[in-house]
Amino acid sequence: MSRFVLITPNVDFERKVRSATAGMSGSLQWFQADFLPESPEGFLSQLLGEPPEVLILGPGLDVEDTLKHAALVDLQYPEISVVLAAEQTPDLVLAAMRSGVRDILSPTADVNGIRAMVERSSLAAAGRRRGLTQGTAEFPGSSGTGGRVIAVMSPKGGVGKTTIATNIAVGLGQIAPMGVVIVDLDLQFGDVASGLLLNPEHTITDAVTGAASQDSMVLKTFLTLHPANIYALCGPRNPVEMDGISASHVTKLLEQLRHEFQYVVIDTAPGLGEHVLAALEQATDAVWVCGMDVPSIRGLRTGFHILNELGLLPENRHVVLNMADSKGGLTVPDVEATIGVPVDVAIPRSRTLPFSTNKGVPILQDGRRDVAAKGLRLLVDRFRPNWQERTHRKLHRRAVVQ
């Protein structure tokens, strides 16, 4: 099977792509041409087996014809990731995103840069292919109007909410590569950027204004790519910028993202401010994070009561007891009796988890064996497609990691 197809008259570029894909499973097929066929079948008919995963177009091809061809491939063969080799300009980036191009590759890129982009595009193709095999136009496990929107909530701060949100995003990225975006909605003191060791060029302030708020393809260019094959939309650089972001901005942003991604993970601010309430209105799932202390437990009980009266409790509830430790004098049954609902996942206190957070590498990313990592994987598994249809020994009851 030819996993990679390259169409270009440029021999030097072909050599670099061949070197970049050497050692990867599958093979590269090169069409040495300075023009494109009228339709994708023009080259697909010459391949054996299934369609390729990645199609690389250019350099040396007419850019306008390339974009038209990319649009046809995206429409007829959405499981193929199209990569355009051309020098980037703002106009080209916008036109390429609208045509369904996955990435733009510089013709002067070195072998390592080409390999990294091809690997990302392959993962994206695999994610799309899995989604298409579900037999529905919607994302697996979604509400029927787009992907799942997972709001990570806590009435109180200091319970490890950002740590859990980033690990959920990284864990889901292993299920749906390039199909996950994490949004930092703690607009004053958000830590998603530091929790993922990112230095974003753009933030949520840029994403809710201008062209990005009107065009989802433009919005994607404001996202930051993380090595775990997920995207991030980080919080404002200055807390003052929060004043320019309204609840309606949040609503519009989440509506855009849920139609572009299989999973949208939201790290919310503590409490129940207007931005948090706007996120809850869009959420299909809420992950409620609670610490093993009385103020946190009482805050969660009060939060449930208020949101129930407002009719803002998402359909799917996941209660997480973080830093679970009976040495504090409380047990899991004590917590359940106070908040009035079962604890779904209890994550034990761990020395490794705070270390990974401080390092900026989520524990599910570095693959360490740890009791906290085991609990986080159990939490991520709850968002797998058709999870509720599977047989569980304690469905709707807690999964306590010892």
For 246-259, the pLDDT digits (tens) are 999 999 999 999 98
Structure token digits, residue 162? 């950002």
Distance from C-alpha of 99 to C-alpha of 82, rounded to nearest angstrom: 10
Sheet with strand 224-226: strands edge to edge: 224-226, 230-233, 180-185, 263-268, 148-153, 285-290, 316-324, 345-348, 399-400
Check pLDDT > 50 for residue 398. no
Multiple choice CATH, 148-400, 1.10.3720.10, 3.90.550.10, 3.40.50.300, 3.90.400.10? 3.40.50.300
* Burial (0-12, 13-18, 19+ Cβ within 10 Å), 317: middle
Q: For tokens 């595009």, name the residue.
A: 121
Check pLDDT > 60 for residue 131. no
Check for a shared fold between 4-132 and 148-400. Answer: yes
What pLDDT is recorded for position 260?
83
Q: Which amino acid would we find at residue 306? A: I
Structure token digits, residue 91? 């106009």
Check pLDDT > 90 for residue 387. no
Residues forming a β-bridge with 55? 5, 82
Q: Is the pTM of this model over 0.95?
A: no
pLDDT band at 305 (very low <50, low <70, confident <90, very high): confident
Structure token digits, residue 172? 């889901």
Q: For tokens 């009266």, name the residue.
A: 309
Collapsed DSSP state (helix, strand, coil) of residue 250: helix
Check pLDDT > 90 for residue 314. no
Range of weakest confidence among 43-47, 148-152, 355-359, 389-393:
389-393
Question: With pLDDT > 70 as the criterion, what percentage of the chain qualifies?
Answer: 89
State pLDDT tens for residues 371-385. 888 899 999 999 987
Element holding 256 (H helix, E strand) = helix 247-258
* Mean per-residue pLDDT, 183-210: 90
What 8-state DSSP symbol labels residue 12?
A: H
What pLDDT is recorded for position 310?
84
Distance from C-alpha of 129 to C-alpha of 243, rounded to nearest angstrom: 41
Check pLDDT > 70 for residue 151. yes
pLDDT band at 130 (very low <50, low <70, confident <90, very high): low
What pLDDT is recorded for position 259?
86
Structure token digits, residue 153? 């909530």
Q: What is the residue extent of each domain of the chain? A: 4-132, 148-400
Q: What is the DSSP string of 19-70?
A: HHHTTSSS-EEEE--SS--SSTHHHHTTS-SSPPSEEEE-SSS-HHHHHHHH
Class of domain 4-132 as given by CATH: alpha beta
pLDDT band at 48 (very low <50, low <70, confident <90, very high): low
pLDDT band at 395 (very low <50, low <70, confident <90, very high): very low
CB 306 within 8 A of CB 288: no
Q: What is the DSSP string of 301-327?
A: HHHHHHHHHHT---SEEEEEEEEE-GG
pLDDT band at 162 (very low <50, low <70, confident <90, very high): very high
pLDDT band at 84 (very low <50, low <70, confident <90, very high): very high
Is beta strand 148-153 parallel, antiparallel or unpaired with respect to 28-31?
unpaired
What pLDDT is recorded for position 237?
87
Residue 235 makes CB contacts below 8 A (sequence gap 6+) with 184, 185, 186, 187, 188, 189, 190, 191, 192, 193, 203, 204
Distance from C-alpha of 221 to C-alpha of 226, rounded to nearest angstrom: 14
CB atoms within 10 A of CB 353: 26
